[in-house]
Amino acid sequence: MSEARRIHWGLILLAGFLAEVAIMVVFFTLLAAAALAGVPELARPESTLDFIDAMVSGFLMFFLFTLWVGRRTESGFVLHGALIGITGALLFTTLVFALSGSPSQPPLYWVAHGLKIVGGITGGIVANKRGMNRRTLAPA
């Protein structure tokens, strides 16, 4: 079986999409909380809160969704994680392009995209270690 056949494209696309949705849910929850707390200046896109959320949630969500995919794959954990992060970055950039007609984004969003890929790779490393532990502990 070739390496391309071992890549679970459906899981990659699903995980990238769900991680992006999770980031947006966290962002809109933070915006609502800021508005309710009476600090509406925090409750806007491209604010400090937005950039922090994009970077922290970007890493964390892609890490977690890569762990989820890692439970459903047998190998190529780091590759899957990188592809999940790239998928998320492409999905967000496509959304920005569809809404604004331009793929241009603030520099900190590009940093957040890099953190999505790093989060996916890190999740892949952890999933690989977990997979090795399962294989070594499994009865022969």
The number of beta carbons lying within 10 Å of the beta carbon of residue 63 is 25
Does any domain span residue 84?
A: yes
Residues 6+ apart with CB under 8 A from 19: 61, 62, 64, 65, 84, 88, 116
Does any domain span residue 87?
A: yes
Which pLDDT does position 1 carry in this prediction?
45
pLDDT at 3 over 70: no
Which pLDDT does position 85 carry in this prediction?
97
- pLDDT for 14-33, tens place per residue? 999 999 999 999 999 988 99
Does any domain span residue 3?
A: no
Which pLDDT does position 74 carry in this prediction?
87
- pLDDT for 67-126, tens place per residue? 999 999 988 999 999 999 999 999 999 999 999 999 899 999 999 999 999 999 999 999
Domain residue limits at 23: 19-137
Q: How many domains does the chain have?
A: 1
